[in-house]
Each structure stands twice: as C-alpha cells, then as structure tokens.
Amino acid sequence: MKKSTLINSELSYVVATLGHTDELTICDAGLPIPDHVKRIDLALTHGVPSFLETVRVILSESQIEGVIIANEFAEVNPAHYQALIKELEMEMEVTGKAITVTSITHEAFKARTHQSRAVVRTGECTPYANVIFQAGVVF
C-alpha cells in the first residue's frame, strides 16, 4: 500500500507523470470541465473533499512553479483566496522555490483548463475556488 499522502490512484498517476510546465486544474463542484481533458472526480458531497484539502495534498506531492487563478476569486471568495495564498507561501518557505501567481478573467480561466493534463473536481461549493497548477522541477 502506498505510504505517502496521496492514495487516489488516478490522481497519483497524473501527478507522477506531470512534466515541467504541465498544468493540473483543481476546481470547485461547478466549474465546467472540457470533454477532451481527463476528469478526476473526487466530489462526494457538498464540501467533501474541500478545495483546500485537495490543494494541500497536491502541494505535498508535486513541485509547483506557477499558479493561475481567476481575478474574481479574490473579490468574490476572499477567505478561500487568502487561504490558498497562505498555502502557497508555506510551500515556498518549505521548498525555497518561488511560485508565480497569475490572475486572469474567469472566462479566460475556463478556456485555459483546455490545456490541463487533468481537471480534479472537488466537492467545494463556494464560488471561484479554482486553481491551475503549473508543474515545476525539483532540481
């Protein structure tokens, strides 16, 4: 049995196969997911798993160098936005590597998900709780 944090086999496989600059989207329960992009549906019920729980697990398992979020996230959902920024700051402190945060419109964000290797749907039911992680390298 796998010993590390991430035990979901589909998600573990995607994380293990990410190359430098590949993108992985973590989204709330309502974000539309493009048909051609791999869907990893973790949603069990409203709020389970949460956006932040899922973000923490992905950060514990992968090196991230960039983050893309919607402009609206900070305005409409400031609590989750601030919590995400705090998680990113803690990750930078642990790894000693910078993580660039880029904000785009929500419409542009939805279009950008078409480039993702996979979209991970959580049970989060708060608006704009979505992030695209860009894979970095550990060296």
Catalytic positions, written as ranges: 20
Specify the pairing of strand 100-104 against strand 64-70: parallel
Token digits of residue 122: 């959580």
Side chain identity at 38, as an amino acid letter?
A: K
Upstream peptide bond of 32 is cis (omega within 30 degrees of 0):
no
